[in-house]
Structure 1
Amino acid sequence: MTLKKRLFPSALLMASALLLGTSGYAMADCERGALDVIYCDENGDMVADLPKDSSKWQNPNTLIFAYTPVEDPAIYADIWQPFIDHLKQVTGRNVRFFAVQSNSAQVEAMRSGRLHIAGFSTGPTPFAVNLAGAVPFALMGSEDGEFGYRLQVFTHKNSDIYEMTDLKGKRVAHTSPTSNSGNQAPSALFPELGVVPGVDYEITFSGSHDQSMLGVVARDYDAAPVASEVVERMAARGLYDPEDVRLIWESDRFPTTSYTHAHNLHPDLVEKIREAFYTFEFAGTELGEEFEGVETFIPITYQDNWRVIRTIQAANGVRYTRDNLQ
């Protein structure tokens, strides 16, 4: 049964979870922390456990892989092809690239069992973990283990904005409510810098980092908080001229896109999927060219590597519910 995109009263959500049966735990009496009622977390690692009933394990002949929503999914389907080919070889399965249009659609696809492997953006990752049973296991990084991106705030080169307090009274583009660098981190961090989003300046949700940056260039917005890795790739593709914008502030580093698998995949298949990620060589591929400076996929855990993100979201009063993801 595929859940439809609408808001569920709590009682109806619980009934739907019982019918869905995607985890094999249908409202089981178990420890689950912040996880949805259809999952358990008995080992305390903050991600959904593999169902105890092996008949609930997925072992598909065709694996569906999705990268986080981007402005032009068709381009990224080609960029990811070298990895898709590697994943096919290591797992011995067919692999299809699934272009998603929104974070909520991506989470919904994994929750309903239609998506097996996915790269979730930083902010939506906790929603994917808690609502869809996603299990983060890798990040892009360097051979020495370095990874991450910065929250950066840009304005047009000809604007009168030179420091964060100059944002007062302006129209600022945030990306989406669940985005870490595009909304959650600014809401948590900017007050310490003397400006309160939504109070000192008007928030307009652009829908993506790409749109935020292009809006700044076109002067549709006075400024925008964006992820450094996204705007660097945009500049490399010639989508905007860095000379047209001014950087007024940047944060320390955050974790990047989390690469996850569905919690109920067969353990043998999970082992092969992880092997494919950890053995992929970026050098000489379109993926390596797109993600400049990335050399490998680094093993990570949600419990450890998303602690700072959970802290930011907790400071913003975020609850991992389906209506908050919309």
Structure 2
Amino acid sequence: MTLDIRPFDEAEIDEYHELRLALYRHDFPELPTPTREATVSTLSRHGDRLLWTARRDQRVVGKVSVLLLDDNEHLAVVDVAVLPELRRQGIGTALLDFVLPHVRDRGCTVVEGGYVKLDGPGGSWTRNRGFREVQSTILQILELGEVDRARWAVDTPEGYELVRWRGHVPDELVASYAEARRAIADAPWGESAEHPPDWTVERVRRIEVERREQGIDLRTVAAVDTHGTVVGLTEAEARPKDPTRLMQGDTVVLKAHRGHGLGVAMKAELLRWFTAEHGALEQAWTRTAAANTYMADVNHRLGFATVGRYGAVAGPIGTIGSEFRPIVGSDGGNPDCYAG
């Protein structure tokens, strides 16, 4: 039966949302199913994003997306998904084979995918197409309507001041803020081919403009030392098309200032600030490397619960796809979750 793979059309949004609902219910029952607004929000994800849908008999039966990241021209983040009842028919493999020439033409040399349950069908499918595990991550969710907010009553460590801003880093802090952002390179990256970006003042200002244009409420809490230098930061964003979910971004503390409780103090302040002004928020989501037990413990202290463990898989172009591996297993999908 013919498979018609074509670029995503906004007229398909309802069918695309139904596909995502089916994937969540079958593959990720531990996660809340996305709203239609949340699905729309994923379509405006940061970075250069390409998306195709697969149709059979005029029905959307699968999709493949590619995310191309700044400062990672060698890397394509690919997500293949197929309706659960139509798996083991080669649809997912056809989608992967379809997209490989596109990412190769973009100059990418490595394909990576995240949120794979390695002990399930998705793990079998990726292994049999030449991928291997490169990192393990955990997803943590905070239920804002159930948490004891006394957990967030955290004092600021002595010798530091918490400074917060919305959308625009103060000019007097932007240089040290950009410098502090580079410390994300110290986080556990496993064997992922993704390189942390080169944070500059110009990059900071460009991203601020992008978020404003998308209507995203991006907020940051920073720890500033007695010299007026940013030595730690945490950020999160609320998206207009996903009003019930707060997405945690990076949290960083410079090595010389760790061990004082700055991480928990900054995150607690950020949660108090957002929830005081966004009454529709129901959850906060964050993704953390499984090896980063310190940050996972900080999140638990604030009320987050670990809801799942997932693997990131990768393979060089030329060693993945049906040409190099037998077609066995199942065509699994990945949840569209923001990393943070």
Which structure shows the bigger proportion of residues in strand conformation? 2
TM-score (norm 2): 0.23
TM-score (norm 1): 0.24
